[in-house]
Amino acid sequence: MKPFLEIEELSVRFHTPEGIARAVDGVSFHMARGETLGLVGESGCGKTVTSLSILGLIPSPPGEIQADKIFFEGRNLPDLSPEALRQVRGQEISMIFQEPMTSLNPVLPIGRQVAEPLITHKGLTKSEAYEHAADWLEHVKIPAAGARLNSYPHQLSGGMRQRVMIAMAMVCRPKLLIADEPTTALDVTIQAQILSLMLGLKEELGMSVLLITHDLGVVAQMANRVVVMYAGEVVETAGVVDIFDRPFHPYTRGLLKSMPRLSTRRHARRRLTEIKGTVPSLIRKIHGCKFSDRCPYAFEICREAHPQLLSMGQGRFVRCWLKEYPERRQNV
Ligand code: SF4
């Protein structure tokens, strides 16, 4: 069976005065229908650029996209005309952004913003679209939804604005939802409400979700599979249970160790461990492993040759020389 979404050898470069930044460097992954895939990594690892490339939203110049394929339901998206791609965007693939205050139009009432995709993509009349908009605002649990249609984004709390963004993304009942750090700007209680709302809607609409986040706690709650990105590359892909129980790549291990955990058991309490250093410049050409400057297990070959993404069986892939040098793994 053909994957629902299949990305092969996606590269995105930005031409800057300092040089060419390789924001995404040969990324490949796929998604099945109904699956939630977590795309994780620190800021600057290429997660958002990857998702914007799927939607054809990278401005060119300065951006330049190359891909062997970005197949969505059997169509190669880069081959579509701008009009056909616009139809896919919003109607079949929707996106929720991280910070609703900068994504919602501050000078338009929220009712109009939720109704707009129904008028543009579904050909509904204004009154029909507003009726649906009110239903969706109620669906995402905005209190007194009908009366809120004429409210402006600044009149709502952060959690309410994020619910409006979810309603906007859902009104056309998309097949794929791309959620880019959907809860990062929210406090934990609202975060839990938004995640449970998204899970409920995913089940109800049977859609697939590409969840972009640096928060592994969110991934644990939502995802079936995980793709870990570092400096524009995929470094590990595995089912969510394997990622948490048997992480292989030192970067994945570092992310997990830096994840706060609550425990009442004294011996289980521990200091958070940070991954020392920062993501390397995307302009600098690195010959070896891009994580080698920060990796506690780096050895000679790591700095000399670039590791390939290798299969570990059962749908798992890892990009690390430790896979090929088992004797080195004893220290890990
Ligand atoms: Fe660390 Fe080497 Fe593996 Fe890179 S290839 S993650 S430097 S052990």
**Full set of structural domains in the chain with CATH:** 5-223 (3.40.50.300), 227-259+302-332 (no CATH)
- Give the pLDDT of residue 235: 98
Cα of 297 vs centre of ligand 1, distance in Å, is 6
Q: Is the CB of 297 under 6 A from ligand 1?
A: yes
Burial 24-53 (b: 16+ CB within 10 A, else e): bbbbbbbbeeebbbbbbbbebbbbbbbbbb
What stretches in the chain show pLDDT beneath 50?
Answer: none
Cα of 42 vs centre of ligand 1, distance in Å, is 17
Cα of 249 vs centre of ligand 1, distance in Å, is 8
In 3D space, the residue among 171, 303, 323 whose CA is nearest the CA of residue 236 turns out to be 323
Token pair of 206, please? 């049977």
Choice from 297, 306, 317 to test ligand 1 binding pocket (greatest atom count within 8 A of CB): 297
Residue nearest to atom 8 of ligand 1 (CA): 298
Instruction: State the closest ligand 1 atom to the C-alpha of 295, by its place in the atom list counted from 1.
Output: 1
Instruction: State the closest ligand 1 atom to the C-alpha of 301, by its place in the atom list counted from 1.
Output: 2
Distance CA 129, CA 134 (A): 9
- Give the pLDDT of residue 269: 61
Q: Is the CB of 298 under 6 A from ligand 1?
A: yes
| pTM for this model (two decimals) | 0.91
Distance CA 223, CA 29 (A): 15
